[in-house]
Amino acid sequence: MCDTCGCNITSGNQHLLKPGGKLSIANNGVSSISVLKNLMSENDQVASHNRDHFDKNNVLAINLMSSPGSGKTALLEKTIQQLKERYRIAVIEGDLETENDADRIRKQGVPAIQITTGSACHLDAHMVHDAVHDLSLKDLDIVFIENVGNLVCPASFDLGQHLNVTLLSVTEGDDKPSKYPVMFRAADIMLLTKTDLLAVLDDFDTKKAEQNLRQLASDAPVIELSSRRGDGLSTWISWLHKQIEEQLTRIKNGKSLKPNIQKEGVQLHSEPSLPHNSLKQNHT
């Protein structure tokens, strides 16, 4: 996308460029410069760098997002138990405080890096970059990134992952995709967790949760599972196997995959970001 051929002009912004539009007028001594640059470019640059690291080392990176307490760590424990004989796994854990989750993962016999964000409500590409350097990527097949429990901010930050997994536990309500469209639109797969509790809940309709996801124009698969009882885990594990195979095929063909987040949209409208250095250069 560039300013040369006009391919950055979309139906959303073309009115600005027409006579009388904001980008066409100039007042006394004041110049108007058209930019159309993505405001996440600094994060996205580092995210691409992280993705290159993963791809070069044949690693599949998966970002798990959900509310706090919807069962991300429990799901990872069960997943590691089922996959660790076949794949070399590591986990990057994001939390505001404590090493609790990383400790739980380490008990499963795989490396875990805990990022404590202080009061930051999401992981960003820089934090993941630092964590990635504490891992020996060449000795790994899968890196799970467990994001900070939050249905808002994590959705806006590309970390360099290949896929987004969004968990929705049945105690949270089947209307969560409608309430948090930015988050659920970013999901490559939605997992309905804690389904063993459905027996005592009369207000969570799994069909409705899926319909609410479809309303976001999402084709992402939906799996119902209970990490505690094991229901649905085999479907999730098969999905993971498929993703690992697809990742290896992509790498063989020199390709990479960006998660559902910003696959279209922003990337369509803005020009590629400035090189990292030139952004920093004149920062006062």
Q: Is 250 in the site for other proteins (CB under 8 A)?
A: no
Closer by beta carbon to other proteins, 119 or else 253: 119
Closer by beta carbon to other proteins, 4 or else 253: 4
Q: How many other C-beta atoms can be found within 10 angstroms of the C-beta atom of residue 230?
A: 12
Backbone phi and psi for residue 151, each to the nearest 5 degrees, phi listed first: -95, 10
- For the segment 32-91, give every residue that binds other proteins (CB under 8 A): 32-42
Among 104, 108, 181, 232, binds other proteins (CB under 8 A): 181
Q: Angle at the Cα of 141 (from 126 to 237), degrees rounded to 5?
A: 105
Among 219, 252, 253, 277, binds other proteins (CB under 8 A): 219
Q: Starting at the earlier edge strand, list the strands of the sheet with 142-146.
A: 112-116, 89-95, 142-146, 60-65, 163-169, 189-193, 222-224
- The residue range among 20-28, 52-60, 161-169, 187-195 that interacts with other proteins, by the rule CB under 8 A, is 20-28
Among 7, 201, 248, 266, binds other proteins (CB under 8 A): 266
Q: Is 13 in the site for other proteins (CB under 8 A)?
A: yes
Q: Is 265 in the site for other proteins (CB under 8 A)?
A: yes
Closer by beta carbon to other proteins, 89 or else 115: 115
Q: Are 133 and 127 in contact (CB under 8 A)?
A: no
CB of 186 to other proteins, least distance (A): 9
Q: Are 170 and 197 in contact (CB under 8 A)?
A: yes
Among 86, 107, 138, 179, binds other proteins (CB under 8 A): 179
Give CA–CA dist 96/23, Å, rounded: 42
CB of 242 to other proteins, least distance (A): 22
Give CA–CA dist 162/65, Å, rounded: 13
CB of 44 to other proteins, least distance (A): 10
* Cβ partners under 8 Å of residue 58, min gap 6: 141, 247, 248, 251
CB of 177 to other proteins, least distance (A): 7
- The residue range among 52-60, 88-96, 174-182, 226-234 that interacts with other proteins, by the rule CB under 8 A, is 174-182
| Distance set, CA 278 to CA 42, 207, 273, 281, 282 (Å) | 11, 49, 10, 5, 7
Q: Are 93 and 113 in contact (CB under 8 A)?
A: yes
Q: Is 254 in the site for other proteins (CB under 8 A)?
A: no
Report helix, strand or coil for 41. Answer: helix
Backbone phi and psi for residue 18, each to the nearest 5 degrees, phi listed first: -70, 160
Closer by beta carbon to other proteins, 36 or else 198: 36
Q: Is 116 in the site for other proteins (CB under 8 A)?
A: no
Q: Is 6 in the site for other proteins (CB under 8 A)?
A: yes
- Residues of this chain that interact with other proteins (CB under 8 A) are 3, 6, 9-13, 16-17, 22-42, 120-122, 152-153, 155-157, 177-179, 181-182, 185, 212, 214-219, 262, 264-266, 269-270, 274, 278-284
